[in-house]
A and B are shown apart, each in its own frame.
Chain A
Amino acid sequence: MAVREMRETILKVENLSVKLGKEIVIKNLSFDVRRGEILTIIGPNGAGKTTLLRALLGIIPHDGRLEWKERIKINYLPQRMSKEKFNFLPISIREFFRFKTRSEEKILRMLEEVGLKGDGNILKKNPSSFSSGQFQRMLLAWVLIDDPDVLLLDEPMSGIDIEGETTIYSLLKKFWKKRKLTVFLVTHDLNVVYGYSTNCLCINKIKSCFGRPKKILTSKSLQDVYGTRIKFYKHTHR
């Protein structure tokens, strides 16, 4: 029996359709996700990737069956969580983490785990005082601090340089292994899809392909999903 079949199903999606206003954004999408998988979701702009995550969270209305395993804790990092959002807000790191926990010791430990070392003074800082890479690491700490089973990450690396991106993905992989997380990751980066995901879902309003990246991502399938020829030069991540 294949390893995938041995793992328990954490999410089952059958004929999921989402309509925003009069526009059908997702049509008859079906797939399942097993515990411990990293599912990357790819597709062109407007393909319904973010809408899919929002439907999975239950924050927008949808048709079809969407069944999460019971007592699953899901945490979400939306798109465009830029540090500029915090520029005008006089909010400290301590106050931002208070939405999740009041334990300063826990916050400091979590920040250290993502490479943001510091004494209690780090908690007094405003999140916008971090560099872009540090800011993304802080967000990663924020979504991880209350021990989720599932992470939904919507293009978490937009706006940071390649080195910062590699660091974050390495951290994500470390936590994925250590905490047996299930990760849903929306990305445009095919290197990430090949380098980190166990499964890939290509969508363009409808499901275009689903399976192991090396098996399903061909020039033909990429052309089907993006509607244009895609040239991909694979390079290995550190």
Chain B
Amino acid sequence: MEQIIFGLVTIIFVSGVAGYLGSLMITKRMALVGGPLGHLALPGVALALIYRFGIFPGAMLSIGAGALLIWVFSLRTKLPLEALTAIVFASVVSIGFLFLPLEHAEQALIGDITQINFFDALLAIFLSTALFLIIRKIYPLVILSEISEDLAKSLLINVKKYTLIYLVSVALVTAMEVKFVGILLTAGLIAIPAAASRNFSRNLTQYSNLSLIFGILCSVSGFLLFRITNLPIGPLIILTSFILFLISLIFSR
């Protein structure tokens, strides 16, 4: 029972910050980035499952290494970043599948809430709160640089610095999500609650706040369905989000 409570607390915090960050990612047309980033976590998740250390540090290490590889390649070739991401993402996933134990495949791919312990929950609460505060601080600056990078620079906003903070936040949130939605579904938790929120919102405040609320709402609904059906929680959270998105289409402005 304790583990279920740890799980519930973790998904509330992580889904909230994922939804909030997702609103920024949709605005920057980067909603799909959560997918390849989540996949980059596979080798780290596999190692964590084999050697029984935390999935989050494993995922973070793997995502960091993958992102570094993409960056190193970008210095050597003029291929677009999305092509390099596809190359690294496919290669890293292949490596991950070579040594991912078959009995852990489901947990890695679609997540498992029952494996969340006290320290995972504590880390999720601390990191999600810290990331939420950081993202809230940089939110308007990232929006302005999205409207016009030169305009933001002319107001002495350090666009490079805030872009880096934003990208690190994306990597951290994705790594945290892997534990309960698995590597396959990370993009869904970032994109769908925020997309539903966009359909309801008239301004940025509504949009960002609703994205956070919808993230939490979808994950708690998914959790309740998981308790009733005992089906994997990851897909249930994403399907709940999808239903919310369908409802939002009725209110789309």
Listed in ascending order, the chain A residues whose CB lies under 8 Å from chain B are 54, 57, 59, 74-78, 80-81, 85-86, 88-92, 94-95, 98-99, 124, 126, 152
Contacts and interface: CB of A to CB of B under 8 A. Distances in A.
Interface in B185-235: 198, 201-207
B203 A90 contact: yes
Q: With a 10 A CB-CB cut-off, give which of B151, B201, B206 has the most chain A CB atoms.
A: B151
A76 B151 contact: yes
B150 A54 contact: yes
A90 B201 contact: yes
B27 to A, nearest CB: 6
B202 A81 contact: no
A57 B148 CA distance: 15
A95 B207 CA distance: 12
Contacts of A126: 202
B24 to A, nearest CB: 11
Interface string B146-168: 11101101110000000000000
A81 to B, nearest CB: 6
A95 B144 CA distance: 10
Contacts of B206: 90
Contacts of B140: 95, 98-99
Nearest to A139: B151
B143 interface: yes
Interface string B122-155: 0000000000000000001001101110110111
A122 to B, nearest CB: 13
B29 to A, nearest CB: 8
B201 A78 contact: no
A57 B153 CA distance: 9
Given A88-B27, A89-B27, A90-B198, A95 B203 contact: yes
Contacts, number: 56
A81 B148 contact: yes
By DSSP majority rule, is chain B's interface helix, strand, loop, or mixed? Answer: helix
Contacts of B198: 90
A187 to B, nearest CB: 18
B202 A89 contact: no
A143 B122 CA distance: 46
A107 to B, nearest CB: 14
B154 A75 contact: yes
A80 B149 CA distance: 11
Given A89-B143, A90-B198, A92-B202, 12 more contacts: A54-B150, A78-B148, A78-B150, A80-B148, A81-B147, A89-B27, A90-B201, A90-B207, A91-B143, A99-B144, A99-B155, A126-B202
B150 A91 contact: no
21 contacts: A57-B150, A59-B150, A78-B148, A78-B154, A81-B148, A85-B147, A88-B27, A89-B146, A89-B147, A89-B204, A90-B201, A90-B202, A91-B143, A91-B204, A92-B202, A95-B140, A95-B204, A99-B140, A99-B155, A126-B202, A152-B154
Contacts of B155: 99
A77 B205 CA distance: 25
A86 B147 contact: yes
B151 to A, nearest CB: 5
Contacts of A76: 150-151, 154
A168 to B, nearest CB: 18
B19 to A, nearest CB: 15
A90 B154 contact: no
Interface string B42-68: 000000000000000000000000000
B154 A57 contact: yes
Contacts of A124: 202-203
A85 B146 CA distance: 9
B210 to A, nearest CB: 10
A6 B39 CA distance: 67
A182 to B, nearest CB: 16
Contacts of B143: 89, 91
A121 to B, nearest CB: 12
A90 B148 contact: no
A78 B205 CA distance: 26
Given A57-B153, A75-B154, A90-B198, A95 B205 contact: yes
Nearest to A98: B140
B151 A81 contact: yes
Nearest to A146: B155
B151 A91 contact: no
